[in-house]
A and B are shown apart, each in its own frame.
Chain A
Amino acid sequence: MTDSLFHQPALAEVLLTVLLGVPLVTAFAVLFMPRQWPAAIRRLSVSALVINFVLSLWLLGGDYTGAEFQFLEKVSWIESLGISYKVGVDGISLWLVLLTTLLTPIALYASWTSIQTKVKEYALAFLLLEVGMIGAFVSLDLFLFYIFWELMLVPMYLIIGVWGGKDRVYAAVKFFIYTMAGSLLMLVAILYVATTYKTLAGQYSFDLEQLHRVVLPFEVQLWLFAAFALAFAIKVPMFPFHTWLPDAHVQAPTGGSVILAAVLLKLGIYGFIRFAIPLFPLATQYVGPSVAALGVIGIIYGAYCAWVQKDVKKLVAYSSVSHMGFVVLGLFAMNTHGVSGSVLQMINHGVSTGALFILVGVIYERLHTRQLDSFGGLAKSMPWYTTVFVIVTMSSVGLPGTNGFVGEFMIMSGAFLSESFIGFGRWGRLLTLFAATGVILAAIYMLHVVLRMFWGPLSKPEHERLPDLTAREHLVLAPLLVLVFWIGLYPNTFLKRTEPAVQTFLSDFNTKWLACRQNDAERLLRPDPAVPAGGPAQPKQGSPSKQGSPSQQGSPSKQGSGTAKPSSAPSRPVAQAGVPGPAADTKGDPR
């Protein structure tokens, strides 16, 4: 008792809470600052966010070689519903958290001069946004995740709706309704899983680790996966749920666009990795190729749409659709480099597209237009700007040596070499073939922008004296440029920490997938599904789909379990009491 009373937690033990707390506390401070001090508010909030970034670098000190979450904290919150404040990072969320803490101050600092009205509220929105984003990335409790997931919706909605362009209200409402529609379905699915856990285990839990043990029948998995996937697909956004994105980007202020593209979109993919795929392996395996195909459609379709846009920001928005298609493709390849590539590509996209939006914001601040037709020959008056823009363009195009290449290469090789059982086998080659055409299209539309903006004679003589990048703008862009080359030339800094987590993700997936495939009756796996007890190993052959022929050897656990489960009341706990454990075989790898 006294021990815990006098125990002072080291920073490392509460680091994630601190990361959530710093912006939250700053937000409170800002809330009580007089609105007549915009400069002070800006300085305070940016420096708080920078401090938070520096603190978040501490996360790199964790041990990411194993399967465990680092900086784990767990505090019971609503005990009767099994809801806890459980946060932790692994090699996947680590980088997304760092991306968030890096880009939020950059985005806010980029808006230093362009936002002149309601500065206090703007800073407040960014601070709360960071709380929501970090929280969503570190939550290991579905309920907590949902809260953070919704929490970041509101500031973003305000950022677009208050400080946006002409049609900001339309764009903000569209953004809000799209995201909300998806996330409500996700909430239903979360509740379904939690209540199933309650019937099986006798108590509620929203703890991800516990819910991973729930095995659900194939059809149920399909529905629940669909509910999760819709929420995440809208966020990613995947074709055909992407139409909110161009509107939102075009209307959002620069800082909002940066965060939206760089971080918020990543939450969709992250949701797939952390929740939808591990919870519903059979469904993942069944629909994975189709989702990836949607991703590939997104790659090509987004690129085509981007090509003919007149508004640079809209063009970059559509290019996001295209790039995120790659991420989806790599993720559903379900092999180490495919998924690692996806994670890396998420960071890449955050860096490159974030930088692109900042650059578009820079020129918009000077010329008050984003129409391609009104630019031309800017290379003459803004050489540094041009240099940075071309570098970022090349990163976006995926030129080797920049970050874009490593991600796209890993993703495409992942898809191409995808295994046939859990990934998409031969389809992968076809998908890769189409995805690779996206690389060509990316060059076409991005160079189109460069050509129209920078080359050729100056479109207007008054552009001759346009100021080049200011010191502040250099400062904003410098870290992103460093990252472009760092990831491009030495991605192992990132991959070495990500790959163990990805391997854990994949092996957990395989284990649960096998357990589900063997017997997808509603049940609970042992705490450690990797060490099964009882039931001899079963050879697995034939189609892994639900419609397995009954001639395959039956599960012995079924034989010993009396008659089949009561169809009238499928989830009475009493009926589950004596069922012997499922034979989860880990040795019989299907490959």
Chain B
Amino acid sequence: MLEQIFDNFAVERMLLWIVLLPLAGAVVNGLFGRFADRQMVGLVGVGTIGLSFFLAVVAFLRLLDMQPEGDAEFVPLQYSFYEWFSIHLRGRAVPIDIAFVFDALSGVMTLVVTGIGLLIHIYSLGYMSHDRSFARFFAYLNLFSASMLVLVLAGNLPVMFIGWEGVGLCSYLLIGFWYETPAYAAAGRKAFVVNRIGDFGVLIGMFILVAVAGSFDFASINHSSYSGAFTLAGWEAGTLATVACLFIFLGCTGKSAQIPLYVWLPDAMAGPTPVSALIHAATMVTAGVYLCCRLSPVFVQSPVAMSVVAVVGTLTALVAATIAVAQREMKKILAYSTVSQLGFMFAAVGVGAFAAGFFHVFTHAFFKACLFLGAGSVMHAVGAHGDADIFKLGGLRSILPRTHITFLLSCCAIAGVPMFSGFFSKDEILLGAAQLGVASDAAFLSPSIGWFVFGGLAIAATLTAFYMFRLYFLTFTGEYRSAGASDGHGSEAHGSGEHGYDASPHESPASMTGPLVVLGVGAVCVGWLGLPHLLPFTGAHLPHVWGEWLKPALAHVEFTPAGGDPLTAVNIAFIAGVSAMAVGIGLAYSMYANKSSDPIASGAPASLYSFLQDKWRVDELYAAVVLRPVKGLARICAWIDQTFVDVLLTKVTSGLVTLSSFILTRAQTGVMHAYGFVMALGVAGLMLWFWSPHPDVMPVVKGQNVEFTAGRGLGYEYRWDLNADGTFEVPSGEHASSTFGSKTFGSETSASHRYTPDDFRGFILVAAAILGEDIEIPLSEHAVVLDPEVLGPDWQVSGDAALPPAVRVEGNEVVIRPNSAAVYARGKLVSEKEVRLPAGSRLRIGQVPMRIAPVVQATLEVRNAFGNVARETVDVTIDVAAPAGARAEVVR
């Protein structure tokens, strides 16, 4: 018993429990939470994720422990639960296991998800304490954690896809958590649908990858691209990788809110603030970056895809930053800031700085979660529901001291104040771009991409520092602008509308500030994990813990700097980063510190300001360009279905039936003579059929013998002229008998005859065909030139002067003049000018087997009861050399 428990907690199996614990929490809270009290629900919700975090830490320590010294292969923790299902590829089963891999990349990510998840769960205990659907919230949150862990830990694409869509579902449910507000529910749907567009890309990308790599496992896929096996017949390797990566990246743009699919994330702020912190800032939205890092070996196969990622990331960073500058609500600003920071991460991935991008994922998780929770704390304090207008806040520094200090630290981090975590990660990204920019060899990626990314990100970084401190100054400095403006009650009932907020805000409870403090410390410190490898100007080397740690999990891209001095790029990046931070904060200080109005709103051109505030009007653009046409298409489809398809198949058919029945019923006159006349006509028609006899001769060839069978009928009598020489051999005199008094017809319905060469009337060349019937070519005294269509492609001896063979009949033999064809007769290639072949010979022209078949003739006369005589002459192709019982062809 004890061993069993111990076994269940073996390190590999721990991976399973990391996932299962939050899932169990979700199930328990979802099913029974409604009936339990809040403490119990909170205990289950927080306890499961806490245990999960504990297990993750244990696993991570174990992972560290397991790594061998030196350059030996990295050993990940792996656990395969069971085989989910399998597909078959090229005759081989490709199993899809519920498998978890805990390596450098997923280990870090798991810690982030469970760690920050735990903090946010604790925070939610306070934040959601008054909500009606407390249990539902924790169920969703736990479900999200489980899904995210599946996403992170998955060892193959389909299992990752469970988590990928699972987090989408939780995001949908949590955005629409307060479902009674229609706008929130609509925002949830928007998130799900936009994510689905991305999932479509992941799905297709997955299929391409499995087609190429023959496996869904990340390890195999990456291995195949490392080993140069990333090819498929009929595709260029680069193109294939490009297509696959672009589809995958489409998915990433959906999940990680990049252009063009970023529009859902700002709306997603409708969810409770802990959700925004956990899902829409720290974890879920970084899944795209995570996936790109997971598949980095595939991405580096395709410069095109990398460039696209870099450009899209940079543009997103820029666009979102400009929008954030003009927003008025806390969470909106933070949301656009998230989009912008995600752009940074993708830009890093795009220029090959995967470690830097993932480092930014890591640091961003801390400071952005802290910012969101801080915003939540502010909103909780002032009683804002949904979102808080910063122009109605201010001066909260003294009222919310703990919130203030953590918020400030995080702002510094995101703005890139040196020694704060964001500084290091952002600097690494800029460094990556600069390294590409100064690279000498343009073999992989164009340096201009590097400069574009560098420039764009530098501007975006400036803007980031600016709008973050704008947010900070407006919220925490100056006077509290809602003091005395509201009665302070019913905060749930009104949002950031006309009224101000709670006149006397108070600091949040410890369950909320505790996590804030932890995250704030994290926002400062975690950056030290990724100290730069090279210090600017001095050129001193520092241990590069982060990069070394992630090395085995990521593809590695090296650029040779143009001047040969690696320090150039480092210096450029450092200067750009620091000056961006300084300019941004300085501007914000001068414009917003202790101020209550928005100088941008008054100073900038009104059209530009409103354009920015309206988020570049992208939503409106999408509505006009995508949504409305698609919805219109749906309406058209439904209209077509009712008015065209249905009408065509139902109304038209029934109309035709009605019409034809109308016409046909005209014949029902009710006059018996008319019916009688028609009947008489029918009888007369039958008479006509019986008037003349129908011989219907059916020959059956048995080698040289042919057996003829004639049709039967009313009073039929027969006589046969089997060799068509004009005298009737059957019936011979004494057997002839007739009920009609004639002595020349008999009652034999069949006769047979053995044909000799004297009876041959002609010859036919039979060419075999693989499909369908054989091809028959009638021969005569005049030469017939064979049609090349019959002979197929390989009939010529040499490629030039293509004259097909000619065939004619001479006496009882067939003469073939091969011309330029390869004619094989009597087992060898015919080299003579002409070859004579008797009936029954086999030959081959090119690839086509042929046969010379003689044709014989027979005549039958039939007399019926009316005394009418019909004569039928049949030509029969016989087979003189064929085995008995072969079939015969009638040539009429």
Are chains A and B touching directly in their complex (CB below 8 angstroms)? yes
Interfacial chain A residues near B86, Cβ < 8 Å: 337, 495
CA distance A579 to B700 in the complex (A): 12
Tell me, yes or no, whether B565 is within 8 Å of chain A by CB: no
* CB–CB B887/A579 < 8 A: yes
Tell me, yes or no, whether B732 is within 8 Å of chain A by CB: no
* CB–CB A440/B193 < 8 A: yes
Nearest residue (CB) in A for B639 is A308
Interfacial chain A residues near B888, Cβ < 8 Å: 562-563, 566, 575
Also in contact, A413 and B210, with CB within 8 A (given A400-B165, A432-B204, A555-B768): yes
* CB–CB B182/A456 < 8 A: yes
Also in contact, A455 and B792, with CB within 8 A (given A307-B631, A490-B82, A551-B847): no
Interfacial chain A residues near B557, Cβ < 8 Å: none
Also in contact, A444 and B193, with CB within 8 A (given A305-B634, A399-B169, A555-B768): yes
Segment of B429-437, B531-539, B644-652, B662-670 engaged in the interface with chain A = B644-652
Also in contact, A491 and B85, with CB within 8 A (given A400-B161, A552-B792): yes
Interfacial chain B residues near A574, Cβ < 8 Å: 698, 700
Min distance, Cβ A413 to any Cβ of chain B, angstroms: 5
Tell me, yes or no, whether A301 is within 8 Å of chain B by CB: yes
Interfacial chain A residues near B890, Cβ < 8 Å: 566-568
Segment of A138-146, A471-479, A518-526 engaged in the interface with chain B = A518-526
CA distance A11 to B770 in the complex (A): 51
* CB–CB A562/B85 < 8 A: no
* CB–CB B638/A451 < 8 A: no
Interfacial chain B residues near A390, Cβ < 8 Å: 173
* CB–CB B87/A410 < 8 A: yes
CA distance A567 to B173 in the complex (A): 70
Interfacial chain A residues near B83, Cβ < 8 Å: 492
CA distance A410 to B94 in the complex (A): 12
Tell me, yes or no, whether B791 is within 8 Å of chain A by CB: yes
CA distance A394 to B170 in the complex (A): 12
CA distance A406 to B185 in the complex (A): 28
Interfacial chain B residues near A556, Cβ < 8 Å: 849
Nearest residue (CB) in A for B773 is A564
Tell me, yes or no, whether B728 is within 8 Å of chain A by CB: no
The 0/1 profile, CB within 8 Å of A marked 1, for residues 626-644 of chain B is: 0000010111011001000
Tell me, yes or no, whether B518 is within 8 Å of chain A by CB: no
Min distance, Cβ A86 to any Cβ of chain B, angstroms: 31
Interfacial chain A residues near B593, Cβ < 8 Å: none
CA distance A157 to B742 in the complex (A): 66
CA distance A574 to B884 in the complex (A): 13
Interface residues of B in 79-106 (CB under 8 A from A): 82-89, 91
Tell me, yes or no, whether A414 is within 8 Å of chain B by CB: yes
CA distance A518 to B889 in the complex (A): 21
The 0/1 profile, CB within 8 Å of A marked 1, for residues 854-892 of chain B is: 000000000000000000000001110011111111101
A-side interface size class? 35 or more
Interfacial chain B residues near A547, Cβ < 8 Å: 771
Our pick among A242, A301, A552 for the contact of B847 (Cβ within 8 Å) is A552
* CB–CB A558/B85 < 8 A: no
The 0/1 profile, CB within 8 Å of B marked 1, for residues 334-364 of chain A is: 0111000000000000000000000000000
Our pick among A335, A383, A566 for the contact of B698 (Cβ within 8 Å) is A566
Interface residues of A in 521-543 (CB under 8 A from B): 521, 538
* CB–CB A563/B879 < 8 A: yes
- Most chain-A CB neighbours within 10 Å: which of B207, B698, B701, B849? B207
Min distance, Cβ A37 to any Cβ of chain B, angstroms: 39
CA distance A124 to B848 in the complex (A): 65
* CB–CB B886/A520 < 8 A: no
Min distance, Cβ A254 to any Cβ of chain B, angstroms: 24
Interface residues of A in 428-445 (CB under 8 A from B): 432-433, 436-437, 439-440, 443-444
Our pick among B188, B210, B633, B769 for the contact of A554 (Cβ within 8 Å) is B769
Interfacial chain B residues near A517, Cβ < 8 Å: 771
The 0/1 profile, CB within 8 Å of A marked 1, for residues 748-764 of chain B is: 00000000000000001
Tell me, yes or no, whether B552 is within 8 Å of chain A by CB: no
Tell me, yes or no, whether B180 is within 8 Å of chain A by CB: yes
CA distance A162 to B701 in the complex (A): 64
Tell me, yes or no, whether B853 is within 8 Å of chain A by CB: yes
- Most chain-A CB neighbours within 10 Å: which of B89, B638, B853? B638
* CB–CB A240/B649 < 8 A: yes
* CB–CB B85/A495 < 8 A: yes
* CB–CB A243/B162 < 8 A: no
* CB–CB B771/A410 < 8 A: no
Tell me, yes or no, whether A375 is within 8 Å of chain B by CB: no
Tell me, yes or no, whether A218 is within 8 Å of chain B by CB: yes
CA distance A477 to B6 in the complex (A): 39
Also in contact, A443 and B196, with CB within 8 A (given A551-B792, A562-B888): yes
* CB–CB B769/A456 < 8 A: no
Interfacial chain A residues near B637, Cβ < 8 Å: 301, 304-305, 308
Also in contact, A394 and B771, with CB within 8 A (given A377-B180, A417-B207, A455-B182): no
Tell me, yes or no, whether A578 is within 8 Å of chain B by CB: yes
Also in contact, A439 and B199, with CB within 8 A (given A432-B207, A448-B189, A492-B83): yes
Tell me, yes or no, whether B779 is within 8 Å of chain A by CB: no
Tell me, yes or no, whether A422 is within 8 Å of chain B by CB: no
* CB–CB B180/A456 < 8 A: yes
Interfacial chain A residues near B564, Cβ < 8 Å: none
CA distance A399 to B888 in the complex (A): 63
Interfacial chain B residues near A548, Cβ < 8 Å: 769-771
Also in contact, A337 and B87, with CB within 8 A (given A550-B848, A558-B768): yes
Tell me, yes or no, whether A309 is within 8 Å of chain B by CB: yes
Interfacial chain A residues near B631, Cβ < 8 Å: 307-308
Also in contact, A553 and B203, with CB within 8 A (given A456-B179, A563-B776): no
* CB–CB A559/B204 < 8 A: no
Interfacial chain B residues near A436, Cβ < 8 Å: 200, 203-204
* CB–CB B775/A562 < 8 A: no
Interfacial chain A residues near B699, Cβ < 8 Å: 566
CA distance A207 to B295 in the complex (A): 53
Tell me, yes or no, whether B767 is within 8 Å of chain A by CB: yes
Tell me, yes or no, whether A75 is within 8 Å of chain B by CB: no
Tell me, yes or no, whether B599 is within 8 Å of chain A by CB: no
Our pick among A304, A399, A564 for the contact of B638 (Cβ within 8 Å) is A304
- Most chain-A CB neighbours within 10 Å: which of B184, B641, B701? B641
Tell me, yes or no, whether A118 is within 8 Å of chain B by CB: no
Interfacial chain A residues near B346, Cβ < 8 Å: none
Tell me, yes or no, whether B614 is within 8 Å of chain A by CB: no
CA distance A436 to B792 in the complex (A): 43
* CB–CB B85/A492 < 8 A: yes
Also in contact, A401 and B158, with CB within 8 A (given A456-B182, A551-B846): no
CA distance A401 to B701 in the complex (A): 67
* CB–CB A307/B634 < 8 A: yes
Also in contact, A243 and B197, with CB within 8 A (given A417-B211, A550-B775, A563-B887): no
Interfacial chain B residues near A409, Cβ < 8 Å: 158, 203
* CB–CB A243/B773 < 8 A: no
Min distance, Cβ A523 to any Cβ of chain B, angstroms: 12
Min distance, Cβ A477 to any Cβ of chain B, angstroms: 15
Our pick among B192, B768, B770, B879 for the contact of A447 (Cβ within 8 Å) is B192
Interfacial chain A residues near B853, Cβ < 8 Å: 563
CA distance A240 to B637 in the complex (A): 12
CA distance A174 to B654 in the complex (A): 10
Nearest residue (CB) in B for A457 is B180
22 contacts between A and B (CB under 8 A): A174-B650, A240-B649, A243-B641, A301-B637, A305-B637, A307-B631, A380-B180, A412-B203, A443-B192, A447-B189, A492-B84, A548-B769, A550-B848, A553-B770, A559-B842, A562-B885, A563-B878, A563-B889, A565-B887, A566-B698, A566-B890, A569-B698
Known contacts A456-B180, A492-B82; 19 additional CB pairs below 8 A are A305-B634, A336-B88, A416-B204, A440-B199, A451-B186, A454-B179, A456-B179, A492-B84, A546-B771, A552-B770, A558-B774, A561-B886, A562-B701, A562-B879, A562-B885, A567-B773, A567-B889, A575-B888, A579-B887
Nearest 4 A/B pairs, CB to CB:
A551-B792, A562-B886, A578-B885, A554-B768
